[in-house]
A and B are shown apart, each in its own frame.
Chain A
Amino acid sequence: MLTTTTLNSFNFRKLFGLLAVICLVSSVAFAQQVGGAFRNDAQHSYIVGFYTGAGQGLPSDGIMHAVNPGSTGGFGNSDESPNAIPQGGDLCANVYVFLPDEQLTACCSCKISPNGMQGWRLSVDLIGNPLTGPPYVGFPTIRAGALKIISSRGGGPAGRLPSPPIGPGISSAGTSGLRCDAGSEYHPGGELHAWITHVRPLLGETSVGVTEIHFEPAHLSHSELEKLQQQCFAINAAAGHGGVGSGRGQCRCDGLFAN
């Protein structure tokens, strides 16, 4: 028989210790469950959006922005302070541009340092250099399609298709030496946030409305990642990384503009 004394002095300590453990475990489980859809590193690295209103002669262009929040490291390799640790906050934004019928038409990989922002003009940087020219099957020009961005901490080994992609399209990361390559077997990692504006005709083409969406995180399946990397690798190879090809199918990374 337990007495009041033992309850007060000993068992309640045990009881509340046990409750504390239960609460800790349950809160961890809760955090994993609620955030489970997107908190997994690879899953949080995959964000999707779309572009629209291209190729219609509208008076304004769409703009996509991506920001590195520094969640995976506050310092990039090129930070001013050589003693800043931990480094490794630099990320690659692996960008994939699709036609509405799921065909990959351009890809590129752009370095974004912590707190850095990269901008892309829709008509120039994203779809200005499509893999194939118009007309496309079922539609005359590129007007809309899906956009996907996968963040990674660098490029991986060369892709699994025959010709090795070497050289351009693979944007180097300036002083850090980080290699970004959307067509390599990189490992998704890190966290980026992106937005894109949509310019749409309202009443005829003289009046437009502009909206902006935030890219949404999604689960990244192995087959989807594999396909993106392989298809981009194929485009890179076709684009002349092996010395042949037309150089088409690559989006551009030089959009550090202010608007």
Chain B
Amino acid sequence: MIGLKHAGSPPKIWLLALTILSVCLTSVAFGQNSNGSSTDTSYYVGYFGNANIPGFPDGRLDIINTGSTGGYSRRDGKTPIGDLCANIYVFTSDQQMVECCSCFVSPNGHIQLSLNLNLTSNPLTTLPVNAGALKIVSSNTTSGGACNVGIFSVAATNYVPFGELRAWNTHVRQTIPPVGTTPALYTVTETPLRLAYLKANGSEISKLQSQCFSVQTLGSGHGRCTCGGVPQ
């Protein structure tokens, strides 16, 4: 038994000690959560704006596969195979998922998507999509090396986040032209999509998958983004 009854200051010291201990343990827990599983490398978030506005130049989304989970593509005939699916989710500003799709990216491969043509031209509803959030979750391909399962994208299935991609997208904005001039002035910036924490089997990944499934089930072809052509 520890005799604290007559200790005077010890209770305060114990409180201080417990506080310090809890802070330390919290930092450990945070450290573990922030990088505890492969999902920490698989989830990227960004945003877009000024899509589908007449006269505005188009934006671009570029995605590359770093080869971090395997340097070879299935067609190389060697292992480990590092082919990945970029599962893309497009949202409007009011958090509604309007499009989703899965795009194949081989190690060292590069795909480029048009904001207006590939990501926002085929929304679930007819409302024009101008701005919102972009999310990409990387995953393995199917056993056949594809990013579609029948009529559904892998993005709409119960896949496990896996692998590592890197992505950047451009943002086109209009600047105020000098008084008396008519041509609009545009500026372009480019940002990387940022890594974020995605809890394995958590609510966010489950929601993304189930909403994408609903979009692709109910959309009658609407709500599916496309994977673009040859990068320019």
Contacts and interface: CB of A to CB of B under 8 A. Distances in A.
Contact of B172 (A1, A3, A202, A216): A202
B66 interface: yes
Tell me if A's interface is mostly helix, strand, loop or mixed.
Answer: mixed
Interface in B183-232: 186-190, 192, 195, 230-232
Interface stretch (B13-21, B86-94, B147-155): B13-21
Contacts of A12: 10, 13
Given A7-B2, A200-B170, A209 B27 contact: no
Contacts of A138: 230
A74 to B, nearest CB: 29
B71 to A, nearest CB: 3
Given A213-B192, A224-B67, A148 B31 contact: no
A22 B21 contact: yes
A220 B68 contact: yes
Contacts of B73: 102
Contact of B231 (A46, A100, A216, A220): A100
Interface stretch (B35-43, B95-103, B117-125, B129-137): B35-43
B10 A8 contact: yes
Contact of B68 (A144, A212, A224): A224
A93 to B, nearest CB: 17
Nearest to B68: A219
Contacts of A79: none
Interface in A173-224: 198, 200, 202-203, 207, 209-214, 216, 218-224
A225 interface: yes
B104 to A, nearest CB: 11
Interface of B is mostly: mixed
Contact of B3 (A3, A52, A104, A144): A3
A174 B1 CA distance: 73
Given A101-B109, A104-B108, A218 B232 contact: no
Contacts of B6: 4
Contacts of A203: 57, 186
B64 interface: yes
A198 B190 contact: yes
B116 to A, nearest CB: 13
A198 B231 CA distance: 13
Contact of B7 (A4, A37, A96): A4
B71 A34 contact: no
B177 interface: no
Contact of A219 (B57, B66, B112, B170): B66
A48 interface: yes
B37 to A, nearest CB: 11
B188 A219 contact: no
Interface in B9-66: 10, 13, 17, 20-21, 24-25, 27-28, 30-32, 34-36, 40-41, 57, 60, 62, 64-66
9 contacts: A7-B3, A16-B17, A19-B20, A203-B186, A209-B170, A219-B68, A221-B71, A223-B82, A227-B72
Interface of B: 1-4, 6-8, 10, 13, 17, 20-21, 24-25, 27-28, 30-32, 34-36, 40-41, 57, 60, 62, 64-73, 78-80, 82, 106-112, 164, 166, 168, 170, 172, 186-190, 192, 195, 230-232
Given A22-B24, A200-B170, A227-B71, 9 more contacts: A4-B6, A7-B4, A48-B66, A100-B230, A145-B231, A209-B186, A219-B41, A219-B69, A226-B71
By Cβ-Cβ distance, the 3 closest A-B pairs, closest first, are A209-B188, A33-B31, A144-B231
